Chains A and B, each alone.
Chain A
């Protein structure tokens, strides 16, 4: 038995010749919220499907709640709950029927099941709609019901695959509050995948950054950000930016610079001492300076530093 809630060692999964996940190793202790951050197609969902016993790994090993997902999938299924990317609910049932069926399949007797469903009604927060067909629910209601279904049997480990993709800001905030509450009050181990930097930053105790199926960085969000040693100066300008570029690159202590349309992003170890000379250089090079700001590194900068590309969020 492992003391880790989730332990993956050199995990890999291929589809034909394509490597969806390769050499992925993570160790998530009980009670942690672990975030897998990466763009669409990075391998997050495949990793979660392996952990949830829906896919066999083609390399390496994964233990969830102490059991090998390849050899003891049934033991894993009894201990996990998951809300995968697609809202996996059945339009022809009512919310209550969906939860009751879920309880029966987990062998929970009708009495305790009804009590548990009453508890979950607060989370689902859809009032009388519990007895209406799911086809009439809004996106947020469906997502909450999906997660309530995953929680019905009180899993030890909860997997949330992009839990807030497609949700409005209010529903997203409610989801974040719920994830924090489940973790804080119940000590539930939660692995969530996300392509939202803010979500990863806000929710995860630790983060794994995943790109092209590989775990390329891992740590607490603040520690990861500290690995990007440079501060970031962002200037919005108007005028002949390419013409001004050589002059701006020559500003003392600017380590690197990137132009994106009329936005100039410069990096410097000590941003506070460079921002002044940089702003002056912008004006002296004939550009109109609309705004200039100094910010500390974000997870996007971490991602850029490691992979050479920015995270591109795609709403599914």
Chain B
């Protein structure tokens, strides 16, 4: 091994040869996103306190809603109220839950900086986490669906209809937390991220949560018309009615894409601000 003499007169070996197998290299967006998503998914069962309340609350709401309004609505409106409420329970389960708190923990612990010092794709840090959210929200639908099945709700369009039902719900649940991630990247503040849950309320309640749209009056009806959740609920209800209603499903997709463009753009801008080095 040759030696180098430093200005200090200290003689040191040349920098060691790097083992070719250990030579670091950038893996690209897709592999990085999978690695980041894998880590986030591994965390899920390790934070049961973050997941359990979110699993139980929608079941509770759905049971109470059905228990208190089923007789009245079924006698006066001639609808299957359990099938009417199942999409509400699912939307409650998937809207607003995310890995936002865990991201804030990374930002504050310095682990996010550790990730930024690797060659990881910066975009993968957001998209990988959102991919984990897809898995999380899909799991969130399970208890509500079980209650729906117990109450006799069926999927007349078969397995495809069931998958479309869960898929629309989970994609909605995946894009909605873009707002939470924007706040997380911008503030790195746990209380600020916790307060993002307040967004859930107008989206979840100023819509056809309890009654069909034609039964809503005045301002609530107006708000429901512009609330994207109205169109998600409409598509999910159509899938329980046995039709493949293209306009209802198309409306839900437009709602998801519109909200997704807004929420993910905000999250990306906040991510760029966080990693800008300025």
Contact = CB atoms under 8 A, between A and B. Distances in A.
B22 interface: yes
A90 B24 contact: no
B13 interface: yes
Contacts of B24: 78-79, 106-108, 153
Given A31-B13, A87-B110, A116 B22 contact: yes
B7 interface: yes
Nearest to A156: B15
Interface in A19-70: 27, 29-32, 52-56
A236 interface: no
A105 interface: yes
B119 interface: yes
B25 A88 contact: no
Given A78-B119, A205-B6, A84 B110 contact: yes
B21 A31 contact: no
B14 A109 contact: no
A133 to B, nearest CB: 7
A56 B8 contact: no
A112 B10 contact: no
Contacts of A102: 118
B111 interface: yes
Interface in B91-126: 102, 105-106, 109-111, 113-120
B110 A106 contact: no
Contact of B117 (A5, A52, A189): A52
Contacts of B18: 154, 156
A21 B140 CA distance: 49
A56 B278 contact: yes
A206 interface: yes
B22 A108 contact: yes
B6 A29 contact: yes
Interface string A84-126: 1111111111000100011011111101100010000000000
B32 interface: yes
B109 A89 contact: yes
B39 interface: yes
A223 to B, nearest CB: 9
Interface string A164-199: 000000000000000000010011110000000000
Nearest to A223: B8
B27 A104 contact: yes
In the complex, which of the residues A32, A56, A105, A112 has the most CB atoms of chain B within 10 Å of its own CB atom? A105
Contacts of B115: 105
B35 interface: yes
A296 interface: no
A200 interface: no
A112 B109 CA distance: 29
Interface stretch (B40-48, B162-170, B206-214): B40-48
Interface residues of A, number: 53
A189 B102 CA distance: 34
A80 interface: yes
A119 to B, nearest CB: 10
A258 B276 CA distance: 48
B78 interface: no
B15 A31 contact: yes
B15 A101 contact: no
Contacts of B106: 90
**Which residue of A30, A106, A112 has the most chain B CB atoms within 10 A of its CB atom?**
A106
Contact of B19 (A80, A154, A205): A154
A89 B112 CA distance: 9
Contact of A86 (B25, B109, B116): B109
A74 B39 CA distance: 23
A92 B26 contact: no
A249 interface: no
B219 interface: no
Nearest to B121: A105
Contacts of A160: none
B12 A220 contact: no
Contact of B111 (A31, A52, A89): A89
Given A89-B114, A108-B21, A205 B47 contact: no
Given A32-B10, A154-B19, A106 B119 contact: yes
B92 to A, nearest CB: 26
Given A153-B24, A188-B16, A105 B8 contact: no
Contacts of A268: none
B6 A53 contact: no
Contacts of A298: none
8 contacts: A55-B277, A87-B110, A105-B35, A105-B119, A107-B25, A107-B119, A112-B19, A187-B12
Given A31-B13, A153-B24, A154-B19, 10 more contacts: A30-B6, A55-B277, A78-B25, A86-B113, A89-B109, A93-B39, A104-B35, A108-B22, A188-B16, A220-B8
Question: 3 tightest CB-CB pairs across the interface, nearest first?
Answer: A31-B12, A86-B110, A88-B110
Interface of B: 4, 6-8, 10, 12-16, 18-19, 21-22, 24-27, 31-32, 35, 38-39, 42-43, 46-47, 102, 105-106, 109-111, 113-120, 277-278
